[in-house]
A and B are shown apart, each in its own frame.
Chain A
Amino acid sequence: MKTLKEMLAEARQIVPEEGPTEVAKRVAAGEKLAVIDVRDPDEFRDGHLEVATNISRGFLEFRVGTTVSDPSTPIVLYCQTGLRSMLAAKALKDLGYATVINLQGGYQKWVQSGLPTVREVSLTTDQIQRYSRHFLLSQVGDKGQRKLLRSKVLLIGAGGLGSPTALYLAAAGVGTLGLMDGDVVDITNLQRQVLHTTADIGKPKVESGTRTLKALNPDVNVIPLPTRITVDNVMDIIKDYDLVVDGSDNFETRYLVNDACYLAGKTNVHGSIFQFEGMATVFAPGQGPCYRCLYPTPPPPGLVPS
């Protein structure tokens, strides 16, 4: 009969180990990677790696196929200290998964290294019903919904573009929405700016916008920012958000948002519109072009009406 020590030694022969920093680097680089937490669900709930999927050791061989469809996808396994997952990794190697890596020292060492973790917050009965159609989508699911609820998005402009975007993001359960606009509601806004109503004429757009969004989904923490974005406030404001949606209506703001997002490393979801034409793109620092690559200089004043 083999001892546990012998079994672990045998597994180590075929399963490479990587420390928390190396695994964190792979994740940050966006590598195609499946991270599986093989601990029990209660351990997982208490804290886990954000990217991880929980499949308890006992179910691993049965359920791994639903998480990892391509056996050539590299898999990182971890448990609390790195022993259970070492044996689990060997089992996956035996099943034919090409690259299986064990997180050395497990979750414990990950935490000790000061790397980020997330705690599973339990969804309320209302939330389970509200987002039930998301749970049916394999790409969103329960895990995705929790991620949305933890996400923070800054909407620059609560006008023609910002209104529908804000409504959809609030409905989808994006947990924090910063709503930034220095204007008040004007009657001419109402045929397209669907966040605001006739009774809101003369009120700050962020006030009516916040009320509409909260009425749609009380889960959402709406942060009203009743000011224009300027060179003095932009960096301080965007630092608190995961992503910025530019729905502004002028070139100065657009260049400012572009530059600030690039310098702060924030992805900028850009949209603009004129009469019957619109356009949309995403500026992701380091991954694609920015607004200045697209339009190096603004059009002469007066050429493009807003």
Chain B
Amino acid sequence: MQATETVKLLLGIGEPLVGRLLTYDALGMRFREVRLRRDPKCPLCGTSPTIKDLTIHLNGGGGACETSTDSHGETVAAGVAPKAGG
């Protein structure tokens, strides 16, 4: 899936998964699509971003991904839990 999306993006063809999250449940053999919207309060790509460089990642550790903003947009992913594995 990632390969197909990559080839489409490189060629500028079709509809890439921009703003859409595709989930795959192998046991149920079901695909689900969730619309994603930009979060205007996003600390990175929102209207008044607080992350303007990578200093938040200095010193490593789990804290690198934390942001000081309040807990906004937690339902954006419509209940799709993040997956850690690669």
Partners in one complex: yes
A169 and B2 alpha carbons, distance in the complex (Å): 10
Answer yes or no: B69 CB below 8 A from chain A CBs.
yes
Residues 273-306 (chain A) with a chain B CB within 8 angstroms: 273-285, 287-290, 292-299, 301, 304-306
The answer to whether B65 and A148 have CB atoms under 8 Å apart is: no
A290 and B46 alpha carbons, distance in the complex (Å): 10
Q: Which of A5-13, A211-219, A261-269 contacts B (4 or more CB under 8 A)?
A: A261-269
Given A160-B86, A273-B85, A290-B42, residue A296 in contact with residue B5 (CB < 8 A) = no
**Binding site secondary structure of chain B:** loop
The answer to whether A297 and B81 have CB atoms under 8 Å apart is: no
Set of chain B residues within 8 Å of A174, measured between Cβ atoms: 6-7, 10
The minimal Cβ–Cβ distance linking A168 to chain B, given in whole angstroms, is 3
Q: Which of A89-97, A116-124, A244-252 contacts B (4 or more CB under 8 A)?
A: A244-252
Set of chain A residues within 8 Å of B27, measured between Cβ atoms: 276
Set of chain B residues within 8 Å of A279, measured between Cβ atoms: 21-24, 80, 83
A164 and B14 alpha carbons, distance in the complex (Å): 21
The answer to whether A140 and B11 have CB atoms under 8 Å apart is: yes
Residue in A closest to B70 when the chains form the complex, CB atoms: A296
Chain B contact residues (Cβ within 8 angstroms of A): what range? 35 or more
Set of chain B residues within 8 Å of A290, measured between Cβ atoms: 38, 42, 44-45
Residues 1-23 (chain B) with a chain A CB within 8 angstroms: 1-7, 9-11, 13-14, 16-23
The answer to whether B54 and A231 have CB atoms under 8 Å apart is: yes
Given contacts A262-B44, A296-B69, 11 further A-B contacts (CB under 8 A): A167-B3, A174-B7, A247-B86, A275-B85, A280-B5, A281-B36, A289-B42, A290-B45, A293-B46, A296-B73, A299-B81
A–B pairs, 12, beta carbons within 8 Å: A231-B57, A247-B2, A248-B86, A250-B84, A256-B64, A259-B51, A272-B83, A273-B85, A278-B23, A279-B23, A292-B43, A294-B21
Enumerate chain A interface residues (CB-CB to B < 8 A): 139-140, 144, 147-148, 151, 153, 157, 159-162, 164-165, 167-169, 172, 174, 230-231, 234-235, 242-243, 245, 247-252, 254-256, 258-260, 262-263, 267, 269-285, 287-290, 292-299, 301, 304-306
